[in-house]
Chains A and B, each alone.
Chain A
């Protein structure tokens, strides 16, 4: 993977998450752009690369939010491992495959975090799961929309083409 391209994409995704994503939200839920990025990477690259990419995106998320350092880095890492297991099953250059991958990755990050918030701070489990689902759904939609642009920069970013995923 080309790490310079990743760095540019990671900074763009983090900045867009803080500024643009809330504009496309429903209620308090907004699409998670960092997850779209690491889902695309996890579905196209090997485990070490995708894990490191997801972990660094999660750490950036932790530093830009009120969660404190650590929780999102860990959740992004686990989610990248699980999403990576779908490599060769979901094809990220197709909107449906990328959308599903982003939805699953977002659900794996936000549902456990919501459960922790509900049990530790009494926010209400139903609301937490509904909020996590809304974020995952919006992320899936953005993921589907991002499939084609990501497929175009695949060569520059050093991600594997679909035919290699089948090998």
Chain B
């Protein structure tokens, strides 16, 4: 029997292998794939430079302490609420504990996605789907967790989605709930906002209480910079995120419940 020429069998086998990888993406373990990135952890220390890392670490420690104090207050409130009614499900009960992490790489190699690599992984309790913040600002969500490093999908990534609310600064107007989508170009967009809603540039976009995905209400995503002139039922709104990936040095992983 005549054997197939190597010229075509190699590309065919590699193409089949790529197809299998794409189809099995969700089932491939992230741990071994992220292991080499553990070697990059010292870079996280270097990136701060000139005491910057120390200052940020101190600042993060203060933020963490403030957050813990708030959590204690929330816990007390929770107890009060529990004693008077079953209102505890309304959201205040769920302030999640946080984990301080340094950003190792703030660039995604593909050129199409917005992801950053952080120096905490499964051994520190990080799991895919956990939310990531910088202070009170939303950064994104953990995409994959290796043993000691993880990749975080930023809010600007085209595959990012979350429930959010648009609120007018300094006004008592009711918030407008919407879905936030990453645009892939460094901005986000609001969808499913009815055209008749008064959302306009300058409105602040915040997270809404979403116990299923671990979000607490009131975390800042960004600001509406453009929109409201679409033709149709829903308006088109562009949101500029408060957090810029290339300036990220330290983040907080919301460990969740």
Indicate, yes or no, whether A interacts with B. Answer: yes
A residues 98-149 near B (Cβ < 8 Å) are 110, 113-114, 117, 121-124, 127-128, 131, 135
Task: Map CB proximity to B onto A40-77 as digits: 1 under 8 Å, 0 otherwise.
Answer: 00000011100110010011011111111111111001
Contact A69 B10 (CB under 8 A): no
Contact A51 B11 (CB under 8 A): yes
Is A14 an interface residue, CB under 8 A from the partner? yes
A32 to B158 CA separation, bound complex (whole angstroms):
20
Residue of B whose beta carbon sits closest to that of A14:
B109
Is B76 an interface residue, CB under 8 A from the partner? no
Residue of B22, B158, B181, B186 near A71 (CB, 8 A) is B22
Q: Which residues of B contact A14 (CB under 8 A)?
A: 109
B residues 1-31 near A (Cβ < 8 Å) are 6-8, 10-11, 14-15, 17-23, 25, 28
B residues 98-132 near A (Cβ < 8 Å) are 105, 107-115
Q: Is the interface of A mostly helix, strand, loop or mixed?
A: helix
Contact A123 B183 (CB under 8 A): yes
Contact A74 B111 (CB under 8 A): no
Q: Which residues of A contact B211 (CB under 8 A)?
A: none
Contact B105 A121 (CB under 8 A): no
A134 CB, nearest partner CB in chain B, Å: 9
- Known contacts: A51-B14, A77-B11, A121-B158. The answer to whether A65 contacts B109 by CB under 8 A is yes
Is B73 an interface residue, CB under 8 A from the partner? no
A62 to B153 CA separation, bound complex (whole angstroms):
14
A122 CB, nearest partner CB in chain B, Å: 7
Segment at the B interface, from A2-10, A22-30, A88-96, A157-165: A22-30
Q: Is the interface of B mostly helix, strand, loop or mixed?
A: mixed
Is A153 an interface residue, CB under 8 A from the partner? no
Residue of B15, B28, B113, B186 near A67 (CB, 8 A) is B113
Contact B112 A55 (CB under 8 A): no
- Known contacts: A61-B109, A67-B110, A81-B11. The answer to whether A74 contacts B186 by CB under 8 A is no
A92 CB, nearest partner CB in chain B, Å: 20
Is B72 an interface residue, CB under 8 A from the partner? no
Contact B105 A18 (CB under 8 A): yes
Q: Total interface residues on A, using CB and 8 Å?
A: 47
Contact A69 B107 (CB under 8 A): no
A17 CB, nearest partner CB in chain B, Å: 5
Is B33 an interface residue, CB under 8 A from the partner? yes
Contact A65 B110 (CB under 8 A): yes
Q: Which of A66, A122, A124, A131 has the most CB of B within 10 A?
A: A66
Is B151 an interface residue, CB under 8 A from the partner? yes
Residue of A48, A65, A77, A124 near B108 (CB, 8 A) is A65
Residue of A whose beta carbon sits closest to that of B184:
A123
Contact A73 B105 (CB under 8 A): no
Q: Which residues of A contact B107 (CB under 8 A)?
A: 18-19, 21-22
A-B contact pairs, 23 of them (CB 8 A): A18-B105, A18-B107, A22-B107, A47-B10, A47-B11, A65-B115, A66-B112, A66-B113, A66-B114, A66-B151, A68-B22, A69-B25, A70-B23, A73-B17, A74-B18, A74-B22, A77-B15, A110-B111, A117-B112, A117-B158, A117-B184, A122-B181, A131-B185
Which 9 pairs from chain A and chain B are nearest by CB?
A66-B113, A70-B21, A70-B22, A65-B110, A74-B18, A66-B115, A121-B158, A64-B109, A48-B10
Known: A28-B111, A58-B18, A81-B11. 15 other contacts (CB 8 A): A32-B111, A47-B10, A48-B7, A51-B14, A55-B17, A61-B110, A66-B151, A67-B113, A70-B22, A70-B23, A73-B14, A110-B112, A117-B158, A123-B158, A131-B185
Give chain B's interface residues, CB within 8 Å of chain A: 6-8, 10-11, 14-15, 17-23, 25, 28, 33, 105, 107-115, 143, 151, 153, 157-159, 181-186
Give chain A's interface residues, CB within 8 Å of chain B: 14, 17-19, 21-22, 28-30, 32, 46-48, 51-52, 55, 58-59, 61-74, 77-78, 81, 110, 113-114, 117, 121-124, 127-128, 131, 135
